[in-house]
Every structure is written in C-alpha cells, then in structure tokens.
Amino acid sequence: MKDKQDIGKKLPRSDGDNFKAVYENYGVACPNCGKWNEFNRVTDIKSIGTACGKKVQCLHCKCAFVISTDDVKEQYEYFLDDCEELIKQNRYMYCILNLCQACEAFFMKCIDIKLLWEPYRKGVFGWNDKKYQLFDKFFERVHKRFKKFSYCKLRNIVFDVYLNDKSFSTQEEIPDYLDKLTDNTIQDPSDRNVKAIVNEKQRNILMDLKKLKIHEIRNAVAHKEGFRPTLNDVKYHMAQVKSFIEDFKTVFNLHDILEYCSISNVMESLRKRHIEFKNI
Ligand SMILES: [Zn+2]
C-alpha cells in the first residue's frame, strides 16, 4: 500500500526531456546519481505499455525513482526507428529483419483500424465505461486469430479489408468475419482485382503493396546460408518500406484514426492509473 502511495509523490522523477525510448528498451539518467540507465521494458519496467509513471530502480546506485515521460508510438514506428540505430552499428542483416517486422506490425495496425478502432469510434462497443472492457475483449480475440499469421497472410487480410472497403457496424460482424476466414479468402489477390479499383491512388498503392518484396529479402537473410545485404541494399529497402507506409496512410486517410488511437491509448493508461489510485 505504501509502495503505491510512493508513486508520483515522494520518489524523485526522471528528466522528462532527456530520455531514449525504443521498442524494447527505455533509457534515462538516474535523478539521484546521474548515471545513464538502459532499462529493458519487460524485465526492468515490467510493462509493455507506456513507461510513464512507472517506478524503477537505478541499475547503478539502486535508488528508486519514477519515469516521467515516454513516447507513445506505434509498434511499426519503433521497428523503423530501431533500423536507424542498426545501420549506425553496421548490422544490416538485423535491419532487414526489422523492416519486415515493421511491415507486419503496420499490416496488423491496418487490420486493427478496420476491425477494432473504427467500430470503437462509431460506438459499436457502446458509450459507457464498459466499452473499454469490450474493446479489450475484442482486441484479444482479433489478435488471437492473427497470432500465427506472418507477412503474406497479414498482407492478404489488408488487401481483403481495404480492397473491398469492409466496415464493421455491429459487434456480431467482427467474430463473424474472423470465423469465416479460410485459406481461400487469405489468398493473394489477383492483379485483375486490384486493377479493377476505380480510385487511382488506391489502385496504385495496392499494386505497390503487391510489389513489395521485403519478406523475400528477410527469408534470404534468415536462411541458414544467411544473405548479407550491403549498406546500399538496406538503404534501398528502408526507403521503399517507409514510403509505402506513408503513402498507404495518406491514400486511405489513416492519419486521423492513427492520432485517435494514440490519444485513446494515452487516455486509457491515464484511466487505468486513476482507477489504481482510487483503489488505494
Ligand atoms: Zn542512480
């Protein structure tokens, strides 16, 4: 009980402007001894959500302190950011693996938007406090369904929901879609189907998605004979992946809903903390 009350009250807080947030780690100077700490989010901070407000112990002087701020980024953004660091370290093979993971995380986000976030914003999960719990339940169900999906299968779901402009207006439609997915519906779309899209920008970006081959490079790198890419290879693929993601967001007007997701995630973590404090 005392431990919880310590949070945000007596404990020193880290510098909110000088920190380094990446997907796996969070780096910050200790407010007591001033030494830099590189915390692993899972092991040291014990949270994969925002580190903001979490209590940690300095790896050097063992003093406890509270983390002031964190970046709220999408998973694919962390993967892309990590690539910059990997290039600096000349670790080009890992960079290719990361780029492919960035695409997979981006595909999952695009699917989440259609199956979860758009319905959430439309009030499909209701408007009262229960909507958070319902959202979490549906989130779990959607992610369980796609857990074993790798690059091609996730990409083909993106094709299915965006090419066919699917929308989900009731709670029943969501599990219904998940249950009816078969290997046939997860097949690569034909060029003919993509070319039949009337909107030129959407047609072009979906053709770009068909041409994106980062998963094949990933497979070559991960193969036991390990393809070793050059700096130029990595720069080429990184530019291609980044421009694809940006263009896809623009063509399908995802900027607004992505901002909504990010604000909702912050609100959600604040709401949880508020409940934690109320229950002390
Ligand atoms: Zn310290």
Of 204 and 17, the one with more pLDDT: 204
Length of the chain: 280
The residue ranking higher by pLDDT, 72 or 195, is: 195
Question: Are 81 and 59 part of one and the same domain?
Answer: no
Question: Are residues 19 and 103 located together in one domain of the fold?
Answer: no
Q: Which H helix or E strand runs over 191?
A: helix 191-195
Give 195 Cα–ligand 1 centroid separation in angstroms.
59
CA of 266 to the centre of ligand 1 (A): 28
Q: What is the DSSP track for 20-56?
A: EE-SSEEEEE-TTT--EEEEEIIIII--SS--TT-EE
CA of 36 to the centre of ligand 1 (A): 8
Q: Who has greater pLDDT, 108 or 129?
A: 108
Tokens describing residue 229:
């890419």
Report if residue 275 sits inside a domain. Answer: no
What gap in Å lies between CA 196 and CA 175, rounded to an integer? 28
> What is the number of domains present in the chain?
2
Local confidence band at 49 (pLDDT 50, 70, 90 cut-offs): confident
Helix, strand, coil fractions of the chain, as percent rounded to 5? 60, 5, 35
In which band, very low, low, confident or very high, does the pLDDT at 8 lie, cut at 50, 70 and 90?
very low
Q: How far is the CA of 64 from the centre of ligand 1 (A)?
A: 8
> Quick one: 87 and 184 in the same domain?
yes
Percent of the chain with pLDDT over 70: 90
Q: How does DSSP assign 207-276, residue by residue?
A: HHHHH--HHHHHHHHHSTT-----HHHHHHHHHHHHHHHHHHHHHTT-HHHHHHHHHHHHHHHHHHHHHH
In the reported structure, the alpha carbon of residue 8 is separated from the centroid of ligand 1 by a whole-number distance in angstroms of 18
Query: Which class for 131: exposed (0-12), middle (13-18), buried (19 or more C-beta within 10 A)?
Result: middle
pLDDT digits (tens, 9 = 90+) for 207-216: 999 999 999 9
Whether 93 is covered by a domain: the verdict is yes
Q: Are 110 and 248 within 8 A, CB to CB?
A: yes
**How many whole angstroms from 57 Cα to the centroid of ligand 1?**
8
Question: 66 CA to middle of ligand 1, Å?
Answer: 12
Domain-located, residue 10: yes
Q: Is 154 exposed, middle or buried (0-12, 13-18, 19+ CB in 10 A)?
A: buried
Q: In terms of Cα–Cα distance, which of 260, 261, 251 is closest to 75? A: 261
Report how far ligand 1's centroid is from the alpha carbon of 88 (Å): 28
Residue 23: which domain range?
Answer: 2-71
Q: Say which DSSP state 143 is in.
A: H
pTM of this structure:
0.85
- Ligand 1 centroid to Cα of residue 28, in Å, is 10
Name the DSSP class of 75: H
Please indicate, yes or no, if residue 280 is contained in any of the structural domains.
no
- 277 falls within a domain: no
CA of residue 76 to ligand 1 center, whole Å: 32
Q: How far is the CA of 37 from the centre of ligand 1 (A)?
A: 8
| Identity at 207, one-letter amino acid code | M
> Could you tell me the distance, in angstroms and rounded to a whole number, from the CA of residue 5 to the centre of ligand 1?
21
Band (275; pLDDT cuts 50, 70, 90): very low
For the stretch 263-273, pLDDT in tens is: 776 666 555 55
Measuring CA to CA, which residue among 182, 54, 62, 160 is closest to residue 115?
Answer: 160
